[in-house]
Amino acid sequence: MKKVIVKCKVHDRDRFESKLEGVDLEFSPIYWQHDRVFVPRGYKGRHNYPRLVMRTEMHAIDEPPKYLLSLRRHIEDSGIDIIEDTPVTDYEGMVNIILQLGFKQFGEVSRRRQEITMSDSTMLYLDILDDDNSVFAKIETVLKEKDPAILVKHELISTLRSFGETDVIESTYFEL
């Protein structure tokens, strides 16, 4: 699936949420995610290399966690992210396969996340990183076949700006 993803640092969470509520947008309950990021040997940032992300997701303490393997590739010159997600039942077994394929662990990120479905193809997330409690808004949309990525990216940035957020971040969370 091809997506355009834009994120920004949120400096005043209460103000941001208040602006969203002002247009009848309300976040889902908070859930927890933990990502272990794996990259191929010789990985260089900003060179279109694929990343494998093993995600653990917990929505409630009385429910079992969900595991997901995500293949992610950011195509730098187009601004498009190619993402393929696969549910996983054996987390440790999948990590061993990833390592046997020659990938190495590059980073880890834990966050508390809330989400808003803005349309059938657009999601808005509010992420609170566990290591330093910094807050980010992330908006992503699935590209349709003829959508020009650069125009979609500008629309997503405009959407974030309409909620008072201008500090766009190009890096992934594990690179921050």
The predicted-structure confidence for 56-110, as pLDDT tens digits, reads as follows: 999 999 999 999 999 999 887 778 899 999 999 999 999 999 999 999 999 999 9
Instruction: In whole angstroms, give the CA distance from residue 100 to residue 105.
Output: 12
Say if residue 7's pLDDT is above 90.
Answer: yes
- The reported pLDDT for the residue numbered 101 is 95
Average pLDDT (102-128) is 95
Q: How many domains does the chain have?
A: 1
Residues with Cβ within 8 Å of 140's Cβ and at least 6 positions away in sequence, in order, are: 3, 4, 5, 6, 81, 122, 123, 125, 156
- The reported pLDDT for the residue numbered 32 is 97
- The reported pLDDT for the residue numbered 154 is 93
- The reported pLDDT for the residue numbered 77 is 73
Instruction: Give me the CATH number covering residue 140.
Output: 2.40.320.10
Residue 29: pLDDT band by 50, 70, 90 thresholds?
Answer: very high
- The reported pLDDT for the residue numbered 49 is 85
Contact status, residue 100 vs residue 92, Cβ threshold 8 Å: no
Say if residue 38's pLDDT is above 80.
Answer: yes
Range of the domain at 32: 2-175
Q: Which H or E run contains 1?
A: none
Residue 175: pLDDT band by 50, 70, 90 thresholds?
Answer: confident
Contact status, residue 80 vs residue 152, Cβ threshold 8 Å: no
Amino acid at 27: F
- The reported pLDDT for the residue numbered 146 is 86
Residue 44: pLDDT band by 50, 70, 90 thresholds?
Answer: confident
Average pLDDT (109-126) is 95
- The reported pLDDT for the residue numbered 174 is 78
- The reported pLDDT for the residue numbered 28 is 92
- The reported pLDDT for the residue numbered 5 is 94
